[in-house]
Amino acid sequence: MIETMPKTFWQEILSKGVHAMTQGMSSDECIKVTEQFGAHNYHPLAVTLVEGDGSWVWDADGNKYLDCVGSYSAMAHGHRSKSVIDAAREQLDHLTLTSRAVYTRELALFLKALCEYSELDMACPMNSGAEAIETCIKLARKWGYTVKGIPEGKAEIIVANENFHGRTTTIIGFSSEAQYRSGFGPFTPGFISVPFGDIEALRRAITPNTAAIMMEPIQAEAGILFPPDGYMAAVRKECTAQNVLLVWDEIQTGFCRTGKKFAWMHEDAKPDLMAVGKALGGGLFPVSAAIGTKEVVSVFHPGDHGSTFGGNPLGCAIAIMAMAEMEANDLAAKSEVAGKLLLDGFSAIGHPSILEIRGRGLLVGLEFKEGTDTQKLVGNFLKEGIITKETRHRTFRFAPPLTTSREEIDEIVSRTRRAIEAL
Ligand SMILES: Cc1ncc(COP(=O)(O)O)c(C=O)c1O
The answer on 113 and 204 residing in a single domain is: yes
Domain with 315, as residue range(s), is 95-328
Is 260 one of the annotated active-site residues of the chain?
no
> Per-residue pLDDT for 2 more than 70?
no
Q: Output phi, psi for 128, to 5 deg.
A: -95, 165
Residue 147: inside a domain = yes
Residue 139: inside a domain = yes
Model confidence at 49, pLDDT cuts 50, 70, 90, reads very high
- Taking residues 15-36, report their average pLDDT: 94
Q: Which of 294, 311, 328 is the last residue of a domain?
A: 328
Residue 127: inside a domain = yes
Output the pLDDT for position 9: 87
The answer on 165 and 67 residing in a single domain is: no
Q: Which of 290, 312, 328 is the last residue of a domain?
A: 328
Is 268 one of the annotated active-site residues of the chain?
no
Helices (H), strands (E): how many in the chain?
A: 16, 14
Helix ranges (H only) for 123-191 are 129-143, 169-173, 178-181
> Per-residue pLDDT for 70 more than 60?
yes
3-state secondary structure 246-307: EEEECCCCCCCCCCCCCHHHHCCCCCCEEEECHHHHCCCCCCEEEEECHHHHCCCCCCCCCC
Residue 232: inside a domain = yes
- Taking residues 298-303, report their average pLDDT: 98
Output the pLDDT for position 3: 60
> Per-residue pLDDT for 5 more than 80?
no
Residue 311: inside a domain = yes
Is 164 one of the annotated active-site residues of the chain?
yes
What residues does 363 pair with on adjacent strands?
Answer: 360
The answer on 389 and 275 residing in a single domain is: no
Atom of ligand 1 nearest to the CA of 288: 10
Residue 62: inside a domain = yes
Side chain identity, residue 372? T
Domain CATH code at residue 74: 3.90.1150.10
Average pLDDT, the chain: 96
The three-state secondary structure class of 193 is: strand
Domain count, the chain: 2
> Per-residue pLDDT for 314 more than 60?
yes
Nearest CA residue ID for atom 8, ligand 1: 129
The string of pLDDT tens digits covering residues 197-232 is 999 999 999 999 999 999 999 999 999 999 999 999
The answer on 413 and 380 residing in a single domain is: yes
Atom of ligand 1 nearest to the CA of 216: 1
Catalytic residue among 142, 196, 226, 249: 249
The three-state secondary structure class of 364 is: strand
The answer on 67 and 104 residing in a single domain is: no
Q: Candidates 72, 278, 307, 392: which one to mutate for ligand 1, based on the most atoms within 8 Å of Cβ?
A: 278
CB-based contact 409:65 (threshold 8 Å): no
CB-based contact 367:223 (threshold 8 Å): yes
Question: Cα of 62 to ligand 1 centre, how many Å?
Answer: 31
Model confidence at 100, pLDDT cuts 50, 70, 90, reads very high
Residues within 6 Å of ligand 1 by CB: 72, 128-130, 133, 164-166, 216, 220-221, 249, 251-252, 277
Residue 118: inside a domain = yes
> Per-residue pLDDT for 4 more than 80?
no
Q: Which of 310, 328, 346 is the last residue of a domain?
A: 328
> Per-residue pLDDT for 257 more than 80?
yes
The string of pLDDT tens digits covering residues 357-409 is 999 999 999 999 999 999 999 999 999 999 999 988 799 999 999 999 999 99
Sign of the CA dihedral with 172 first, then 174, 178, and 182 last = positive
